[in-house]
Structure formats: C-alpha cells, structure tokens
Amino acid sequence: MRSFSVISCVIWCLMYVNRAAATEKYTLPTPEEGCGFSKVTHKKIVGGTPAKLGAWPWMALIGYTDNEGDLTWRCGGSLITAKHVLTAYHCLKSTLTTVRLGEHDLSDESETNIVDIPVVKVRGHPDYSKLDKRNDLAVLYMERAVEFSTQIRPICIPINDPLRSKDYVESNPFAAGWGLTEKGSKSSILLEVQVPVLSNEECKEKYNAIKSVVSQKQFDSAVLCAGIPGKDSCKGDSGGPLMAPEFAAGKFVYYQIGIISYGIGCAENVPGVYARVQTYVDWIQQRVAE
C-alpha cells in the first residue's frame, strides 16, 4: 500500500509540475491532482502538540534577510501551487527574501527534505487595511517551481461550492506552525492544534469587551474567528493556514479556510482572527495565473 501511495504521488507530481512548466501558467490544484493529502492520520488534538513528520506538507516558512546577510523566519505560509505561497499581507517586508518548504524541526540540521527558494515577486491584496487588518493576504512568487513529494505538496483551496459558502461555525479545523510572529518568537518543532470556529457576532462581542473593535467592517464575512483560551493562533504562525478536512476524490483532504491574521497575544477569551479564504478565491486564482 505504501509503495502504491509513493508511486501515485510521483505520477501526479510529475503531471502537475510538467503541466505548469509547459505553459508557465498555474492553476490551483484539485484533490484529483493530489492537493491537501496528508500521509498522517490526524486524531482529535487537545491543546497544542508536536506534529508528526510530513503531517502538513504544505507548510511554509517565510524568511527575512538582514543587513548582515543573516536569515530569520518570522512568518508562515502555505504552498498553493508548485510556485506560489499564500501568506498574510502584514508579513510583507522589504527584507522578505526566501520561502522554506519541507521543514519540521528548526533545530535539526540533518533534515534532508528542506528546500529554500528565493522569492522574486510579492502581490499583496490591494485593499489591505492597517486599521482593522481586513484583506490580510498576499501571494509570494518563488523563483522556481518546487518538486512535490510526500513532504512537500500544496494544500487545496475551496474553489467550488458548497465549500465556498460553508461557514464552518462550531467545527474544529487545524492550525499549525512554529509559533512564529512578526516579532520573531518561535518553537523549533512544528506544532499543531485544533481550534473551534466562532460566529463573527460572538467574536465581535469578545473584542468589543476589551475595546478592540476599531471599525464597522472588522468582523464582516471576509474574516473568520477561531480559538478558545489555550488554543489559539498564538500557537501558530502569522500568515499560516487554518485547515479543514473534507472528503473529496475518494479520500479526506485538507482545504485552507483561513490565514492567520491577528489576535491579542494569547489573551483569555479572545479568539484569533483569520482572513477567510473563501472570500478571496477569485483573487487568489487571478494571482497564480499571472
């Protein structure tokens, strides 16, 4: 069974990469093309826990190079095609230079699946608001296409209905990351956590209670809120994905439904806020097709 799985991966990886390379035009991959598949079975997670190797093969680290040439990882992202990474707009800095894929343990220099690729272009959403962090998403363009494997592959984006209209309230999607924030704090090992999705009305009430509602549109349908005390996006990466399992193409695959945008640290009773990916599918498709 494992041999069949590896062979299948090689076949679809070559088909997808060759298709894109032949035209230099990219499209978001479908479950039939292998997006969103994890070789690891994910049971219910209580609190944050270290992820197994290869559990989230689309996870990306965003690297920044300082004046001395040193590279630091300050945000996360998700691989959405062989050449594109989705992240948060607020992660865009002039020093952003690199995407790392295939990482698991930042302290383990013997890992052999790591791929570092220069970023040659960035496209942030044109309507990003610094005030209320709405439209907090961006697409990074890598210098070259990455070769897919069991530890590097793209996540699915909810292109079609009914997933584009699903609200996910009361579901428990996954977040993963090294605990990176734009301030640079981190865990060396990739962590994963399940977070409950709240209604936007409840989310607004919680932020209003701490006087952190700054605009009328802050909690509209373009955002998604998730988390409870001790289980929040503070355990994930800025720009990293919120991931929901769905049955498609005869198996469970993961769709990205959110991009980690902001929270109030790890404050009690205040959920994390995510850019809702379903709202931006058309914009994302346009960016990867450029």
Q: Which residues pair with 176 in a beta bridge?
A: 192
Q: Positive or negative CA dihedral for 47, 238, 82, 279?
A: positive
Return the closest-CA partner of residue 175 out of 252, 106, 258. Answer: 258
Secondary structure letter of residue 277 according to DSSP: G
What do you get for the CA distance between the two ends of the chain, in Å? Answer: 38
Q: Please state the pTM of the whole predicted model.
A: 0.89
Which residue shows structure tokens 């996954």? Answer: 174
Return the closest-CA partner of residue 238 out of 102, 133, 167, 161. Answer: 133
pLDDT digits (tens, 9 = 90+) for 118-159: 999 999 999 999 999 999 999 999 999 999 999 999 999 999
Going by their DSSP bridges, the two strands 138-142 and 84-87 should be labelled as: antiparallel
Instruction: Specify whether 8 is catalytic.
Output: no
Residue 101 tokens read as 């894929």
| Length of the chain as a residue count | 290
Catalytic residue among 38, 78, 90, 237: 90
pLDDT digits (tens, 9 = 90+) for 251-263: 999 999 999 999 8
Catalytic residue among 78, 104, 136, 232: 136
Across the chain, mean pLDDT equals: 88
Query: SS3 for 99?
Result: strand
Specify whether the CB–CB gap between 275 and 283 falls below 8 A. no
Which residue shows structure tokens 């978001």? Answer: 28
Catalytic residue among 38, 78, 238, 261: 238
Instruction: Specify whether 136 is catalytic.
Output: yes
Query: SS3 for 15?
Result: helix
In percent, the amount of the chain with pLDDT more than 90 equals: 72
